[in-house]
Amino acid sequence: MTAPHRHTDGETDQRLEAPTPSRAPGADPRGDDGGGLTGAVVVVALVSAISGLLYGYDTGIISGALLQITDEFGIGSGWEQVIAASILAGAVIGALVCSRLSERRGRRMTLLVVATIFVIGSLAASLAPDPLTLSLARVVLGFAVGGATQTAPVYVAELAPTRYRGRLVLFFQIAIGVGILIATIVGATERVDWRVAIGAAVVPSALMLGLMLRLPDSPRWLVKAGRDEDAREALERVRPAGTDVSPELSEIDELVEAERTARTSGWRGLREPWVRPALVVGCGLAIFTQLSGIEMIVYYSPTILTDNGFSDSAALRVSVALGATYLITQLIGLAIIDRVGRRRLTLITLPGAALALIVLGTFFVTGNDGDAQVPYIIATLIAFMAFTAGGIQLMGWLTGSEIYPLATREAGAAAQSASLWGTNLLITLTLLTIIDTIGTGQTFWLYAAFNIAGFVFLYRRMPELTGRSLEQIENKLSKGQFRPADFADHR
């Protein structure tokens, strides 16, 4: 349904007011909340986890592989940056294209396309005869990565029972960390040829494709497409036998109708003055997630360390420690985020990340980067990874599903993803050049400054969303009350 919204200039507009049902969406009136987990829902979560693992693995494997690729192709830092960044260029395209493809052709068809491209891209990259072909193949892989991050969590959320939705969607986030850790372990062995390491992603890609062939499309998308009977059949396939899916289907109908009749919707809706504060916070958060420096460490830590006197073996072992830290602190962060709060956790951890980068920079600028200081350098790198992975890194994907009004949520999430991938691309294309120009230590200081700027931005603009329903967040936004102080009364 629609409700009048008054802009600050006195204009009256119509906007979507998200329904506030007396029970959670998808809940059965008898209180069983859509039923328990079924085998089909577990397979849906597994598909999402595989796509997250492929994201982590395909972006992380290049870290150790670059040492071999540089030797085989005889390339310098310019090509290294292009090879590392090419997957990110594809991810920007994939996030935007798959957002629209998901709306027009459905979540299932989009994920089938993504899985197929994962297979093709992995094979092409592993067989690349030169750096140009490898870069182009990684652009293809990046399209799949961007498409997966845009579509898989939505697909799970729209098929999972309400009571399990949050936990199943988090499989995607956790799987990213698992993928990064596996990639660093493979690289650290130094016995796995880079072509085999990159080509190994074909196996989970093919598994994802095979599993997707057995799954239904999203009931929500089917209702939007006017295929109500197909939506009923899809729900019945993923709910326990004998469950009455009519109440859940009815609520989907209500939400879809409200979205359909809203004037403030889609990409155009993001330009509305009352929606803009959410877009600024969401895209700003995505940008500072990358400017934190984590991609500098994930992609280039072996290269940075070997260029500064570390052996290949030592540098690769450090990468494994960083990958393990990433995964462990992500799990800790996910476990405590609802108790600590999104805003509070981010603001607590950002200063720690900045301080770690300042200390790292000081080691290199003052020349204290010899053998005696190696344990301290490694400890500081791990501390940086812990503060970043357990803090701001959790927010980049999470907020995209929370801060935007219902009718602009998919467009907002796509814009936020594109901001994240675009910033990542810029960093990866320029990092080694910056290091060559101003020095390793000074580059660490530069990224420490980005963390400080991120703290200031988020302190001033990011409200505490923890404990707020999506309807409450949208209501605050519609009233022009989207500053931190406007949410302070809740906690």
Residue 369 CA, chain-centre distance (Å), reads 34
Positive or negative, the CA dihedral 255, 259, 262, 267 is: positive
Q: From the CB of residue 226, how many other CB atoms can be counted at a distance below 10 Å?
A: 9
Q: What is the pLDDT of residue 69?
A: 92
Q: What is the pLDDT of residue 10?
A: 36
Domain ranges of the chain: 27-261, 266-491
Instruction: For residue 485, give every residue at least 6 positions away whose Cβ sits within 8 Å of its Cβ, in sequence order, or none.
Output: none
State the DSSP string of 312-324.
HHHHHHHHHHHHH
pLDDT, tens digit only, all 491 positions of the chain: 333 333 333 333 333 343 333 333 333 333 344 456 777 888 888 888 899 899 889 888 887 788 889 989 999 888 988 998 899 889 889 988 988 898 888 889 999 999 999 999 999 999 999 999 999 999 999 999 989 887 888 888 788 776 676 667 777 878 888 998 898 888 878 788 999 999 999 999 999 999 999 889 888 888 888 898 998 888 888 888 878 888 888 888 887 777 777 666 778 888 888 888 989 999 999 999 989 988 778 777 877 788 777 787 888 888 888 889 998 998 898 888 878 888 999 999 999 999 999 999 998 898 876 777 788 888 999 999 999 988 898 887 677 767 888 778 778 888 888 888 889 888 888 888 898 899 989 999 999 999 999 999 999 999 988 877 766 788 888 888 888 887 876 54
Separation between Cα atoms, residue 389 and residue 391, nearest integer Å = 6
Separation between Cα atoms, residue 183 and residue 177, nearest integer Å = 10
Nearest to 180 by CA among 314, 328, 45, 304: 328
Q: From the CB of residue 466, how many other CB atoms can be counted at a distance below 10 Å?
A: 18
Nearest to 319 by CA among 333, 309, 305: 305
Backbone φ, ψ for residue 203 (5° rounding): -65, -55
Separation between Cα atoms, residue 2 and residue 7, nearest integer Å = 15
Same fold, 27-261 and 266-491: yes
Q: What is the pLDDT of residue 20?
A: 39
**CATH fold of the domain at 266-491:** Growth Hormone; Chain: A; (1.20.1250)
b/e map 155-182, b = 16+ CB within 10 Å: bbbbbbbbbbbeebbbbbbbbbbbbbbb
Beta bridge partners of 16: 2
Type of residue at 264: T
**CATH fold of the domain at 27-261:** Growth Hormone; Chain: A; (1.20.1250)
Q: What is the pLDDT of residue 14?
A: 38
Q: What is the pLDDT of residue 127?
A: 95
